[in-house]
């Protein structure tokens, strides 16, 4: 059996190295090294990463990279790109990198080059998208389709919704997208409230085509369409995206209007597969293709750049440094871009479903903490809400600031205010404000303790030129590979999600109790909740 991670020599070296950080300040580090910003920055695929405001020095990086090598990051990365079954508990490859391989590339899993199949589906998506945009595909009454509603949840929803919002300036004229995920009927009612069935197309997106929420909402949508337009309208108003042909057939949908993908695509790694059909319809084939090129560019960078300059590796190692050696429990994602409002939610699934694991790949309890809690909101909104705690609270919260040099709104002066705030926040967190500075400014002594900013609060700044489709693809792939880097070091399976199953099974049992006289044994709390609900739910 291999040495547990927490007793391995490099882990111990890092623990010891961490002790040398007591009393070290970022102020001092910047004073000592005028080249620090240059020395601790890297750039790839249009994204500039400034990681100089982290509690690291060259020795920290050397040790973290030694750790990555000791955990065979490079070999495991090669295994992922070679289509090996690295998702061991599900016996599958995690081959999402093949989804963005250009035509003509060869990417094999289980001996089969999947790139031709990938492009066959992309071509099918493109032809369908063009037929909707040019009006060749019309609704049952002959009206052009103007509204696309994606029904799906988790990985079959968060990426498409995030991308639709992120690519707002690139939207195809006249196209509107909506998303129905939650099983709460209020979602469906709200999203369809002002829609005309005659010009609405539903995409039922589900890898498994068995997910309770999606199947329930799809039935609801079918009822909504057929009540207005008749049974025959289904073929013109519904398409499916899934890996499960049989379930699509069983649902009564035409598999000719089905867009497939494969079991080697994890749900949270699927926004660039056919799950992205709504994105393609929303922004057009060319922009979707540019987004795939951005993903691919970052894949190449991750695969080939030396670890020391490799953006996903650096970001993964920094996250792990705070998670495991500074007891940071959370990481904030702070996009200074209104259009990236849903990016933190997207990253929550990507990171927490991937790395929220308590056993390693061999089934043994992990010996160190794994995935951090990911959260965040766009700046500057968050500044007037939770930043107080980040600046002066008792917890260390590493932050990822994400911003863009060029505005995509015509209000360029406001963009300056936005970016000034991003840059200022990272500066304030790192360097704070000392008591002496406050006194020199004449702040009353009694207020000094309250107005001190301790500083030394670490952050990365990711700067792109513009939030365009290519950059968005590169940004998502950057985080995908950062998650991979962390998972490999922790020795966990980042591609399964067994932790979501128990709640689903118990909910099904409770549904049966709510809909019949069947009763199952429950603990006293659950039984009392059920009883109260049954008594008060109304007719
Ligand atoms: O319940 C979790 C999960 O399985 C996610 O991993 C997945 O993205 C989501 O549900 C939706 O699954 P599906 O695409 O099969 O409907």
DSSP 274-325: GGGHHHHHHH-HHHHHHHHHHHHHHHHHHHHS-GGG-HHHHHHHHHHHHHHH
Is 163 within 8 Å of 276 (Cβ atoms)? yes
Q: Is the CB of 211 under 6 A from ligand 1?
A: yes
Domain ranges of the chain: 38-62+319-466, 97-283, 501-537
For residue 491, which phi and psi values (nearest 5 degrees)? 75, 30
How confident is the prediction along the chain (539 residues), in pLDDT tens digits per residue?
Answer: 578 999 999 999 999 999 999 999 999 999 999 999 999 999 999 999 999 999 999 999 999 999 999 999 999 999 999 999 999 999 999 999 999 999 999 999 999 999 999 999 999 999 999 999 999 999 999 999 999 999 999 999 999 999 999 999 999 999 999 999 999 999 999 999 999 999 999 999 999 999 999 999 999 999 999 999 999 999 999 999 999 999 999 888 889 999 999 999 999 999 999 999 999 999 999 999 999 999 999 999 999 999 999 999 999 999 999 999 999 999 999 999 999 999 999 999 999 999 999 999 999 999 999 999 999 999 999 999 999 999 999 999 999 999 999 999 899 999 999 999 999 999 999 999 999 999 999 999 999 999 999 999 999 999 999 999 999 999 999 999 999 999 999 999 999 999 999 999 999 999 999 999 988 999 999 999 999 999 999 86
CA–centroid distance, 156 to ligand 1, in Å, is 7
CA–centroid distance, 96 to ligand 1, in Å, is 16
Ligand 1 mutation pick, 497, 498, 499, max ligand atoms within 8 A of CB: 497
Crossing angle of helices 311-325 and 58-70, in 10° steps, is 100
By C-alpha distance, which of 401, 122, 160, 425 is closest to 268? 160
Residue 208 CA: which ligand 1 atom is closest? Answer: 15
Q: Do domains 38-62+319-466 and 97-283 have the same CATH topology?
A: yes
CATH topology of domain 38-62+319-466: Rossmann fold (3.40.50)
Indicate if ipTM > 0.95.
Answer: yes
By C-alpha distance, which of 74, 54, 10, 27 is closest to 318? 54
The reply to whether 433 belongs to the active site is: no
Is 144 within 8 Å of 133 (Cβ atoms)? no
The reply to whether 103 belongs to the active site is: no
Q: Is the CB of 156 under 6 A from ligand 1?
A: yes
Q: In this structure, how many other beta carbons lie within 10 angstroms of the beta carbon of residue 338?
A: 17
Which pTM does this prediction carry? 0.97
The reply to whether 120 belongs to the active site is: no
Tell me the HSE value of 106 on the side-chain side, using a 13 A CA sphere. Answer: 3
Superfamily of domain covering 97-283: Glucose-6-phosphate isomerase like protein; domain 1 (3.40.50.10490)
């Amino acid at each position: 059996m291999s040495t547990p991670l927490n007793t391995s020599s490099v882990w111990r070296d890092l623990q010891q190295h961490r002790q040398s950080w007591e009393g070290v300040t970022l102020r001092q580090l910047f004073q000592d090294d005028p080249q620090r910003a240059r020395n601790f920055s890297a750039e790839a695929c249009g994204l500039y990463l400034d990681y100089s405001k982290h509690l690291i020095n060259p020795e920290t990086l050397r040790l973290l990279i030694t750790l990555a090598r000791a955990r065979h990051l490079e070999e495991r990365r090669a295994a992922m790109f070679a289509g090996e079954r690295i998702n061991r508990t599900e016996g599958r490859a995690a081959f999402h990198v093949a989804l963005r391989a250009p035509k003509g590339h060869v990417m094999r899993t289980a001996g089969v080059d999947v790139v031709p199949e990938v492009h066959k589906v992309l071509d099918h998506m493109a032809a369908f998208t063009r037929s909707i945009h040019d009006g060749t595909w019309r609704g049952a009454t002959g009206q052009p389709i103007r509204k696309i509603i994606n029904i799906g949840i988790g990985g079959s929803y968060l990426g498409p919704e995030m991308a639709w919002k992120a690519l707002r300036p690139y939207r195809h004229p006249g196209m509107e997208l909506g998303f129905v995920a939650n099983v709460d009927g209020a979602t469906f009612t709200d999203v369809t409230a002002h829609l005309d069935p005659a010009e609405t197309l539903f995409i039922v997106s589900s890898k498994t085509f068995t997910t309770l929420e999606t199947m329930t909402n799809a039935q609801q949508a079918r009822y909504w369409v057929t009540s207005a337009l008749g049974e025959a309208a289904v073929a013109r108003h519904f398409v499916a995206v899934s890996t499960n042909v049989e379930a699509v057939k069983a649902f009564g949908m035409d598999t000719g209007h089905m867009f497939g993908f494969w079991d080697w695509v994890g749900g949270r790694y699927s926004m660039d597969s056919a799950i992205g059909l709504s994105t393609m319809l929303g922004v057009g084939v060319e922009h979707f293709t540019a987004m795939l090129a951005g993903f691919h560019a970052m894949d190449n960078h991750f695969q080939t750049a030396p670890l020391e300059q490799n953006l996903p590796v650096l970001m993964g190692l920094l996250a792990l440094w705070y998670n495991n050696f500074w007891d940071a429990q959370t990481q904030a994602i702070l996009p200074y871009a209104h259009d990236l409002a849903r990016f933190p939610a997207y990253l929550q699934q990507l990171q927490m479903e991937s790395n929220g694991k308590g056993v390693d790949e061999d089934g043994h309890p992990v010996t160190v903490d794994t995935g951090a809690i990911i959260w965040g909101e766009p700046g500057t909104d968050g500044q007037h809400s939770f930043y107080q705690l980040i600046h002066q609270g008792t917890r260390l919260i590493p932050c990822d600031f994400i911003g863009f040099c060029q505005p995509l709104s015509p209000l360029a002066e406001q963009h300056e205010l936005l970016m000034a705030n991003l840059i200022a926040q990272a500066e304030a967190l790192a360097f704070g404000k000392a008591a002496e500075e406050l006194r020199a400014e004449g702040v009353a002594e009694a207020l000094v303790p309250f107005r001190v900013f301790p500083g030394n609060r670490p952050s990365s700044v990711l700067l792109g030129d513009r939030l365009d489709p290519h950059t968005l693809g590169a940004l998502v792939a950057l985080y995908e590979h950062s998650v991979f880097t962390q998972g490999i070091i922790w020795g966990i399976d980042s591609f399964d999600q067994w932790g979501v199953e128990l709640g689903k099974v118990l909910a099904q049992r409770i549904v049966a109790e709510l809909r019949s006289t069947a009763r199952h044994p429950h603990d006293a709390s659950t039984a009392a909740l059920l009883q109260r609900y049954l008594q008060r739910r109304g007719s």
